[in-house]
């Protein structure tokens, strides 16, 4: 057997994404798309207390965009910070930028970019630590993310357009293209390492009322799903079926009974 034989095996697959965003392929192996697996908003907010600075920023001015690449690291923090701030500046938007693992902040901007430094000090809030998507994103006008399934679910689930700037050549391009197809956002075709702030600003410029309405409609569909509950129920059903199959496989045959020493079962 080789890896190429795996596609011919009967391997049931539980797919943890929303059928509202991608129902699956007609010819994909047996399985079921059940919805995204995520903590509900109440669980997200349990141990969260927003800083006074973040609350003040959100309340003081036009609705900002969100820029967050989470655990993704591209080139260096300076490059990523420049892309984030330049995108906001060229789009004439305020922004909440998540520091993430790269620890993006205004001090990472190069000194020769005085324009970006001045803009960031007035129009950008760099959030540190963990900020629940369920709390922050509904207070933003659009989300710029790397495009993993979870971040796309969070942005679209908040009812705002999703701008996907892929970092890795894996599922991130796929989810960006789904955003394009469903008109709930803009997926860039190149990796973040080759992307400029101008590219992101151009994508933000494509956001219109039709796209916003599409995002809101998909958000309603996502909220109606119970991916965790549905997935858990199916796993329980699979376990029960496997248990029954194992018991049936161990059931003694008539020949075993007739030899006078029935096996223990």
Residues 49-98: tens digit of each pLDDT: 889 999 999 999 999 999 999 887 778 899 999 999 999 999 999 999 99
Percent of the chain with pLDDT over 90: 56
Element (H, E) at 1: none
- Which residue(s) pair with 97 in the sheet? 67, 126
Q: Is the pLDDT of residue 258 over 70?
A: no
227 burial type by CB count under 10 A (0-12 exposed, 13-18 middle, 19+ buried):
buried
Element (H, E) at 197: helix 197-205
Q: Give CATH superfamily name and number for 51-223.
A: Glycogen Phosphorylase B; (3.40.50.2000)
Q: How is residue 100 annotated by DSSP?
A: T
Residues 153-200: tens digit of each pLDDT: 999 999 999 999 999 888 899 999 999 999 999 999 999 999 999 999
DSSP β-ladder status, 162-164 and 143-145: parallel
pLDDT of res. 257: 57
Segment 206-231 mean pLDDT: 92
- Calculate ∠ Cα 81-84-85, nearest 5°: 85
Interatomic CA distance for residues 95 and 126, integer angstroms: 8
Copy the structure tokens of residue 137: 């994103």
Give 227's contacts (C-beta < 8 A, 6+ positions apart): 16, 18, 34, 35, 36, 37, 38
pLDDT band, residue 8 (cuts 50/70/90) = low
pLDDT band, residue 1 (cuts 50/70/90) = very low
Using alpha carbons, list the distances in angstroms from residue 190 to 1, 136, 151, 233.
37, 27, 18, 39
Q: Is the pLDDT of residue 118 over 50?
A: yes
User: What's this model's pTM, rounded to 2 decimal places?
Assistant: 0.83
DSSP β-ladder status, 124-127 and 95-98: parallel
């Amino acid at each position: 057997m080789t890896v190429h034989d795996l596609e011919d095996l009967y391997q049931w697959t539980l797919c943890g994404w929303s059928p509202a965003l991608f129902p699956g392929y007609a010819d994909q192996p047996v399985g079921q798309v059940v919805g995204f697996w995520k903590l509900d908003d109440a669980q997200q907010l349990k141990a969260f207390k927003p800083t006074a600075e973040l609350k003040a920023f959100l309340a003081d001015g036009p609705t900002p965009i969100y820029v967050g690449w989470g655990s993704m690291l591209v080139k260096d923090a300076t490059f990523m910070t420049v892309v984030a701030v330049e995108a906001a500046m060229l789009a004439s938007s305020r922004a909440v930028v998540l520091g993430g693992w790269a620890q993006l902040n205004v001090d990472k901007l190069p000194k020769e970019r005085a324009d970006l430094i001045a803009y960031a000090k007035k129009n950008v809030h760099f959030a540190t630590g963990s900020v629940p998507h369920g709390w922050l994103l509904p207070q933003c006008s659009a989300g710029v993310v790397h495009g993993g399934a979870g971040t796309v679910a969070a942005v679209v689930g908040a009812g705002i357009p999703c701008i996907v700037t892929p970092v890795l050549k894996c599922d991130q391009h796929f989810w960006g293209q789904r955003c394009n197809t469903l008109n709930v956002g803009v997926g860039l075709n190149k990796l973040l390492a080759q992307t400029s702030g101008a590219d992101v600003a151009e994508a933000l410029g494509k956001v219109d009322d039709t796209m916003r309405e599409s995002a809101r409609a998909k958000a309603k569909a996502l909220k109606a799903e119970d991916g965790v509950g549905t997935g858990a129920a199916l796993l329980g059903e699979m376990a029960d079926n496997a248990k029954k199959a194992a018991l049936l496989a161990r059931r003694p045959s008539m020949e075993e009974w007739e030899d006078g020493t029935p096996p223990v079962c």
